[in-house]
Amino acid sequence: MQLQAFAPLVTYPEANTDRVTELVVYFATRIGAKLHAMAINADIPDVSNALSKLLLDTPELIRQANVESRQRGEHLLALLRSKAAEAKVEMDTAAVAAPIALLGDTAAIRARYFDLNLLGWEAGSEVSRMVAEAVVFGSGKPTILFPATADVPAFDHVAIAWDGSRVAARAVTDARLFLERAYRVSVITAVDEKPLKDADVGERLAEGLRTRGLNAEAVSVMAGDRPIAPTLQEEAKEKGCGLLVMGGYGHSRLRDFVLGGATEGILADLSMSVLVSH
């Protein structure tokens, strides 16, 4: 059964860059997935009144914004089709329009029909953050977040952020395809970030992975005064890992998400490709 990967593309007000299309195709190629890309264009309603029409020509500004969003979506999808054809990746494309406040929800609902999400993260973009948050917590599927400016990552060495929790265990299961293809797996545990149920949680997971035929080692780190998300990413990169696997902590509260420290840090400052599972 072929893996089905979903790639939502944001087109307004801070659109995904062209680089995202290259990385999406690369990921699909590495895992042998069929790619389903969707441009999520802005649907900005005309809420102008007589004064705004007179002073700012608001209806024309709204029309231009909607047109620019749609054109950007068409450009990204065309670029993606071209790169997928070159890489011989099977794919289909679609485009939808949604209010800006519902861009993330639109992506999350569509993502539920696929196996894995591929989502480009744009530094400093609130829209990118909003969509990532919604997809991670609303799709029910594992999501690979990757910086839009990143180099092409290698997946031969995979890191797991491990604390023995349910969501971390879920992430390990969801990352099985990547773990099986890696020649090395590093299980990274921050031993001073929060209380752990067992002192040897990292080694216990590494041992379990070794019984499954994987070359796994346990790595303990001290976060100290550093935030946990940069600590995990820096340790993974220092080890030469191209992918970090971690559980996403969070729950919704009146449409706002209350996030765990590591999840908040990843969504705020992503420096490497991360598979997040909730």
Residues 183 and 141 in one domain: no
Residue 9 is assigned to a structural domain of this protein: yes
Q: Which structure tokens are listed for 169?
A: 């265990």
**Does the residue 37 lie in any domain?**
yes
pLDDT at residue 248, as a whole number: 81
102 and 168 co-located in one domain? no
Q: Judge if 171 and 120 occupy the same domain.
A: no
135 and 260: one domain?
no
Residues 83 and 142 in one domain: yes
Shared domain for 132 and 163, answered yes or no, is: no
Q: How many domains does the chain have?
A: 2
Same-domain check for residues 43 and 131: yes
The answer, yes or no, to whether residue 25 has pLDDT greater than 70, is yes
User: 220 pairs with which residues across the strands?
Assistant: 189
CATH number reported for the structural domain that contains residue 59 in this entry: 3.40.50.620
Q: Are residues 202 and 111 in the same domain?
A: no
DSSP string, 67-129: HHHHHHHHHHHHHHHHHHHHHT--EEEEEEEE-GGGHHHHHHHHHTTSSEEEEEE-TT-HHHH
CB atoms within 10 A of CB 32: 12
Range of the domain at 91: 4-147
Of the three residues 105, 129, 147, the one that is the final residue of a domain is 147
Question: Residues 115, 197: one domain?
Answer: no
Over residues 138-142, the mean pLDDT reads 94
Task: Out of 40-49, 113-122, 237-246, pick the least confident.
Answer: 40-49
- Summarize the confidence of residues 219-237 as an average pLDDT: 87
Statement to judge: residues 142 and 214 lie in one domain? no
Q: What angle do CA 155, 108, 154 make, to 5 degrees?
A: 10
Q: Judging by beta carbons within 10 Å of its beta carbon (0-12, 13-18, 19+), is residue 74 exposed, middle or buried?
A: middle
Does the pLDDT of residue 165 top 70, yes or no? yes
* Per-residue pLDDT at 262: 65
Report pLDDT for 193.
65
pLDDT digits (tens, 9 = 90+) for 87-119: 999 999 999 999 998 999 999 999 999 999 999
Q: What is the per-residue pLDDT for 50?
A: 45
**Is position 152 within any domain?**
no
Question: Is residue 124 domain-shared with residue 165, that is, in the same domain?
Answer: no
218 inside domain = yes
User: Is the Cβ–Cβ distance between 41 and 96 less than 8 Å?
Assistant: yes
**170 or 194, higher pLDDT:** 170
Domain identity same for 98 and 170: no
